[in-house]
A and B are shown apart, each in its own frame.
Chain A
Amino acid sequence: MLLLAAGWYSSAYAKEKREPTIVKDADFGEVLYYFYQEDYFPAIVRLLAAREQSRLENHDSESELLLGGLYLSYGHHLRAAEIFERLLADNVDPEIRDRTWFFLAKIWQQRGYMAESQNALDNIQGELPKGMESERHMMQAQLLIERGDYDQAIALLQDWPGKSEWASYAQFNLGVAMVRSGRVEAAAQILDNLGGSDPFNEELTSLRDKANLALGYAYLQDQQPVAAKSALQRVRLEGPFSSKALLGVGWADAEEAQYQRALVPWMELRGRDLLDPAVQEAMLAVPYAMAKLNSISQAADHYLNAIEAFYEESNRIDEAIVKIESGTLFDGFLAEDRDSSAGWLWRLNNLPEGPESRYLFHLMAANEFQEGLKNYRDLAYLDRNLDEWQESIAVYRAMLETRKLAYEERLPMVEQSLAEADLDGMANRKLEHDAQLNRIEQSNDALALATTEQFALWGEITALERNPALNANIPEAAEVRDKIAMLKGVLQWELDKEFKVRLSKARKDLQRTGEALVDTQRSRRHVDEAMRVEPMIFEGLTAKVDGLSPRIDSMKQRVEVSMAEQREFLQGIAVDELQAQRERLDTYTVQARFALATIYDRSSTAANAEAQGGSQ
């Protein structure tokens, strides 16, 4: 028995303090051993196997709940939900029940099962612990926004209490709901408040940058450059949104015809990564400003540089598309921690090295991509698992055949030995010995238990007794007769003295012989039984191996088909992303060419006019 400091639910959706749970079945403890290592696949397999063998009798209801938790942790959410819907309806601790629904709602929302997610949220009856309760309301608001029920979402988000991170997120999502419901001015006000907040961590600082950027660009598009610049300048220079903000600040200046000033942030952007759309746009914005400042020659040079840079970048994107379409990219994504069976909590944190990875960086933030990648990773795990079983089953088949061969080779020898061993004859002989010993005891036949020497001596004495010479009536003969009688008396005395001990020993020996005979008979029965059963065991195991082997093969084919589909889906997302980037570069290239042509055209017109003026 083992005391558990905390129950199984002390993992993802655990309570903080619980009564100790006692592990009564070793197999249940073994499942927990894998569960606590977040190795969900072997944990589930062991639990299913132990249940099949009725080895979890002391943990019947717990094991069902644990199985649900394992399925959920493994990302097998539909099966988990089936179990929970059945179990959580009745005798489960309300707190556990509500937490479980919460996690189901969360996984379903991540995977786009919105109706299921809403249903799970509706099943939560009590209040969750603080952080979870906030997240639950946020999930609810997002579901409302998702299905266009903006008024309810706004009502839920509007009076968010406190000044926590959640309150800031609520503000942002409130802005989203307001914009979508057409309350743009109010949304701008909310973003302005958020953009002017004083964040206390990186997460909130980033959120503030996003709000300022959204607001700044909204003002910019609404021809309000001063307000736009004010919001954009609140974005951190070193943060992930700084390029976009610098670009916007430049446009705000340009909007007011301050082209010299606009060049400052735009020139700064030219030194940054060309992959960033803000940098690409700056490559066109710089010559645009220069042209406005009448630096036509410089503007033309910058347009030419931009066209060249866009051309090279487009080629790189094309190469990356070819690489992605070759199908090898996604295996690199799984290299990290590939043998773990961690489920839906897994996320790809680092892109594999390679020229194409830089184009896919922000795909990592997309749920659809991450969830698709999780599925791809899970399928790759299943594929490897089936590979291993294919090898093992081949070994087991060979093992069975070898065992069977060895059995068949040994069988004739064993049968011969058994035929030679006359156990019934031995039993009869034992009974004869018993009877003989009884006769010896009844007749006090001490000579029957004499040693070989004593028996020989007795024979010699009796032979001497029968010697006719001893019958002579002479004193010497009488003397010899007396000596023989004395010798015989001594021998008889010795035999009588040792008779009881010898009898007892003989009885014990005979008893042991009887016991050994019984053991031998029992072993014989076992051997007979084994000879009867063994072929059936071989047959049974062979049938199982023969039945399971094609199941592995067929399952492997299906997993591989599914992997290909999943890979195609992910490739589609990645290629779409790259093509969008390429199309943007194409558009910019056309704009640069057009601008350049216009410059050349103007220069040529001006030169012609000058020439004509000179000639006149």
Chain B
Amino acid sequence: MFKKLTIGLATFLLVWMASVSAVVAQDAATSGSQMLAAEDAASREEFRSLDENVQDLKKEVLDLNRDLFLLEEELLFPANSQVAFFISLDVGEYFDLDSVNIKIDGKEVSNYLYTRREVKALLRGGVHRVHMANLKVGDHELVAVFTGEGPHIRDYRRGATLNFSKGIGAKYVELEITDRVEKQQPEFVIKEWE
């Protein structure tokens, strides 16, 4: 005949609690999950050994990526001819950025469409390297056209121009969108990064 297994109250409570909870307080997202305390020590040891190995690999791959990133830049954009263009957004109350179109010396080089996530990152202070170019030493013209939503939820499209001189050595150019509070309008400024 089928028979229930009987164990003591204390043992049962112990096993049950260990299996269902113990880490309920850990985190709203993880409540109800099992606590490592209840898990097999050997398994934990194995997990830790694997985890340490993963940690080592992460470090080495990150270092390798750093070296590759630098090689890539040196190869594709040598310092002598390199010009980097950055977008920054300060406050952004009067302008909701949608896209940026960049022309250098009359030639379109970039047309970047921003996701919500990227705009949020810009609003929090992130700076986006929107384009990298190799330019000859001498004078150049940059025209940037910003599109998005302006004051009163209207489509907004504005351009800004910068004539700049490229010397020897890398150059950084900042395309900055700020709020002009007194006019309740956004302002688009292009300048060489100080």
Contact = CB atoms under 8 A, between A and B. Distances in A.
A378 B58 contact: yes
B58 A76 contact: yes
B50 A176 contact: no
Contact of B9 (A138, A222, A399): A222
A3 B90 contact: yes
Interface in B56-93: 57-75, 84, 86, 88, 90-91
B28 interface: yes
B174 interface: yes
A41 interface: yes
Instruction: Classify chain A: how many residues form its interface, as a range.
Output: 35 or more
Nearest to A75: B58
B28 to A, nearest CB: 7
B55 A566 contact: no
Contacts of B71: 396, 541, 544-545, 548
B181 interface: no
Contacts of A188: 9, 13
A426 B77 CA distance: 36
Contact of A217 (B8, B16, B21): B16
Given A365-B32, A367-B34, A548-B64, A382 B57 contact: yes
Given A2-B125, A371-B51, A541 B120 contact: no
Contact of B90 (A2, A379, A389, A573): A2
Interface stretch (A84-92, A256-264, A440-448, A550-558): A550-558
A32 B18 CA distance: 42
Contacts of B6: 221
Given A52-B70, A78-B55, A365-B33, A37 B121 contact: yes
A165 B90 CA distance: 39
Nearest to A224: B9
Interface stretch (A178-186, A319-327, A409-417): A178-186
A594 B57 contact: no
Interface of B, secondary structure class, is: helix
Interface string A109-150: 111111000000000000000000001001101100110000
Interface in A560-593: 562, 565-566, 569, 573, 591-592
A218 B16 CA distance: 9
B59 A36 contact: no
A265 to B, nearest CB: 15
B145 interface: no
Given A32-B125, A32-B127, A555-B60, A52 B66 contact: yes
B61 A367 contact: no
A53 interface: yes
A552 B9 CA distance: 58
B23 interface: yes
A36 B120 contact: yes
Interface string B23-36: 11111111111111
B46 interface: yes
Contacts of B17: 175-176, 179, 214
Interface stretch (A4-12, A506-514, A605-613): A4-12
B4 interface: yes
Given A52-B70, A214-B20, A396-B71, A45 B13 contact: no
A48 B43 CA distance: 35
A455 interface: no
A562 B72 contact: no
A399 B75 contact: yes
A562 B54 contact: yes
Contacts of B63: 48
B44 interface: yes
Contact of A30 (B3, B25, B61, B128): B128
Nearest to A206: B32
B39 to A, nearest CB: 5
A97 interface: no
Nearest to B5: A221
Nearest to A399: B75
Contacts of A104: none
Given A142-B22, A548-B67, A595 B1 contact: yes
B38 to A, nearest CB: 9
B47 A37 contact: no
B153 interface: no
B18 to A, nearest CB: 8
Interface string A331-366: 000000000000000010000000000000000011
A329 interface: no
Contacts of A218: 9, 12-13, 16
14 contacts: A5-B123, A23-B127, A32-B127, A33-B127, A34-B121, A79-B55, A207-B21, A210-B20, A217-B12, A367-B36, A370-B30, A379-B57, A389-B65, A541-B71
Given A3-B90, A370-B30, 19 more contacts: A2-B88, A23-B88, A23-B127, A26-B86, A33-B127, A36-B120, A75-B58, A109-B26, A138-B25, A142-B25, A145-B37, A187-B13, A219-B9, A222-B8, A386-B61, A389-B64, A400-B75, A566-B50, A569-B50
Interface of A: 1-6, 8, 10, 21, 23, 26, 28-30, 32-37, 41, 44-46, 48-49, 52-53, 74-79, 106, 109-114, 135, 138-139, 141-142, 145-146, 165-166, 169-170, 172-173, 175-176, 179-180, 182, 184, 187-188, 203, 206-207, 210, 213-214, 217-219, 221-222, 251, 284-285, 288, 291, 347, 365-368, 370-372, 375, 378-379, 382, 385-386, 389, 392-393, 396, 399-400, 541, 544-545, 548, 551-552, 555, 558-559, 562, 565-566, 569, 573, 591-592, 594-595, 598
